[in-house]
Chains A and B, each alone.
Chain A
Amino acid sequence: MSTSTMAWGDHRVLPTWAPAAATGAGVAVGLLAFLAGGVSLILAAIVAAAVTTAALIPWSLAVEGSRRARDRMVTLTVTGAFALAVAPLISLLYTVVSKGLDRFDATLFSESMRNVVGNGGGVQHAIVGTLVITGLATLASVPIGVMTAIYLHEYGRGGKLGRAISFFVDVMTGIPSIVAGLFAYALFALIFGPGVRLGVMGAVALSLLMIPIVVRSTEEMLRVVPHHLREASYGLGVPKWLTIVKVVLPTAFAGIVTGCMLAIARVVGETAPLLITTGAVTSVNANPFGGRMENLAVFAYNQYANPGVPRDPYIARAWAAALTLLLIVMVLNLVARLVSARFGVKQR
């Protein structure tokens, strides 16, 4: 929409390069202040924003009048808001990468924390635990989530039960992760007695968080499967369940995979529910029923929150674990987007 640059009768407007020129001037002054003036990066950014505003708005006010000037002010504001929101992301990525690279070496992945005090050690046990817990949670959530979505979209639409399930799936999305952890603890404490810590408890807590995400994304994908495909199948006398299995699901498959991967990415970094269900341990444990189990997020937290003496190796391991976690999440997100872009049903 380039309406703001149109000339209305004898009204005068700024040249089209005006915003770019003002922004350029602002950034130039900000850079100058940062490089030559020695002010902090945050202050330089504020200077750049102030100079841009001071250059463009009075100019616009003089040439175009107050309505256009206000319009330009809003444009600057929303653009600035976006830039400001990206700043924490950049700062966070920079911090995690620069601090995490310190210990991001081969031993990090080849060793556990068994008998490690101070330097050395690694996250092998935490990675095994993360894989087992997240894997179990996925095995439980994906079938339940996909079947529920099929019920909601193909069977129970408009019915009382369908509406109730749909409502409570929405409610479930809002369950705080720590409450999911408490639920898993409460459930297993009734069976095994208080103080119990098992890998499978973490999987139960995580699947509680995963199921609603899988249901919602699968439902969304079933919705974009064209109806004429279903009707062509019915028309050939194929029963409904075979239509779903052979026509609807394969069509929506890429989208469902994307949804499941995003759900995994969402829970793989969960800390709170695992902190209170799987506990922490220093050696490799791949048995979900065999007592305490470490995982990456809890490892990062514990290394940071309860460091030994000297502190530095613990903090360095915390950042290295955070970097590993961030890489896993980013790769999952990226692959999920690629799958849906490459194989997804073309929408709209």
Chain B
Amino acid sequence: MSATSADNPADATRAAIKHHGGVPQRPGDRIFGGAAKGAGIGILVVLAGVAIFLLIEAWPAITAAAEEIPGREGLIDYIAPLAFGTVLAAVLAAIIAVPFAVAIALFVSHYAPRRIAAGLGYVIDLLAAVPSVVYGLWGVSVLAPASRDVNTWLADNLGFLPFFEGPASATGRTMLVAGLVLAVMILPIITAIAREVFSQTPRAHEEAALALGATRWEMVRMAVLPFGRSAVISGSMLGLGRALGETMAVTIILSVSGVVTFNLISSTNPSTIAANIALDFPESSGIAINALIASGLVLFAITLVVNMAARAVISRREAKEGR
């Protein structure tokens, strides 16, 4: 992803030109370069605008008296259960998706026959192309009914764990199913990043391991996985960020009731910030809208932190490799 490379011939040329006092600037150069620069600055302005306009529209809710906020308990008590549900669903999705993504990335980069590997990678990429509303419809009409027996079994046999306390939902519209669908949705993101880096493992490392008599798995464990570890971490965080903000799949699948619980299989589930906005926004007016926008601001802040942390891991890795 990095834009600089020290041995770039164009950079060398540019440096040489600068040394000789620079090229004469033509009007066309100034206009075109200015337009390009303007577009870039425009992006910064828009991003600042997102934060500013959300803050302006959220402000009435931030300053409002507690009983004016929906729920009558104040803004913090309104947003906190939603934030809990958001994090729970996203973390659940990431826990399910990451091991699969690593295994699939290894399969495509090191196990599948060379000739069909690219095609198989494309099949996984197709998962990312499916619109989230379609995932939601699929989840609620296929996965949710199919999960009912599993839910009952979990409640009967693993009911001592807080996650499977039960009573099992009769519809299957549970946090577990929402987490599973989110996991499928973020799988291609994590897989793509892990696959890319796994396939960049230095050939010399792999061949050294094999030459010492390592089996393929031992080679992967000693050469590929250590090389790709930071990519797996950053990819997982990007996936987590995506799951945090995912709206429609959760909106359609989850039957929400605003509780705070780790119980994954019951019919009363915490809502998420995004799903709550999608459900309530079209019907709301007045201060309720401002409260929803305030919750959106919180979501924006959470995803921003997660994404920036992921980018920091990536850029540290690139700096270490001297790219």
Contacts and interface: CB of A to CB of B under 8 A. Distances in A.
Interface of A: 1, 3-4, 8, 42, 67-68, 70-71, 74-75, 77-79, 81-82, 84-86, 88-89, 91-92, 95-96, 99, 143-145, 147-148, 150-158, 161-162, 164-180, 182-183, 185-187, 189-190, 194-195, 208, 211, 215, 219, 227-228, 230-231, 234, 239-242, 244-245, 265-266, 268-272, 275-276, 279-280, 297, 300-301, 304-305, 318-319, 322, 325-326, 329-330, 333, 337
Kindly state the interface size class of chain B when it binds its partner: 35 or more
Interface in B32-61: 32-33, 35-44, 46-47, 49-50, 53-54, 56-57
The 4 closest A-B pairs by CB, nearest first: A176-B245, A269-B131, A174-B307, A147-B39
Given A92-B138, A147-B35, A151-B39, 8 more contacts: A78-B107, A85-B104, A89-B127, A168-B47, A176-B244, A189-B57, A194-B285, A242-B28
Contact of B299 (A165, A176, A266): A176
30 contacts: A1-B210, A42-B146, A71-B217, A78-B111, A81-B100, A85-B124, A86-B124, A88-B184, A89-B123, A91-B142, A96-B134, A143-B39, A147-B38, A155-B37, A157-B11, A168-B47, A171-B304, A176-B244, A176-B300, A178-B277, A179-B245, A179-B300, A183-B49, A219-B3, A239-B26, A240-B33, A272-B251, A280-B282, A297-B131, A322-B137
Contacts of A158: 3-4
A92 B141 CA distance: 10
B181 to A, nearest CB: 8
A211 B43 contact: yes
B215 A182 contact: no
A329 B281 contact: no
B134 A322 contact: yes
B307 A171 contact: yes
Contact of B44 (A143, A165, A173): A165
B132 A269 contact: yes
Interface of B: 1, 3-4, 8-11, 13, 23, 26, 28-29, 31-33, 35-44, 46-47, 49-50, 53-54, 56-57, 99-100, 103-104, 106-108, 110-112, 120, 122-124, 126-127, 129-138, 141-142, 146, 184, 187, 210, 213, 215-218, 220, 238, 241-242, 244-248, 251-252, 274, 277-278, 281-282, 285-286, 289, 292-293, 296, 299-300, 303-304, 306-308, 310-311
Contacts of B134: 92, 96, 269, 300, 322, 325-326
A166 to B, nearest CB: 6
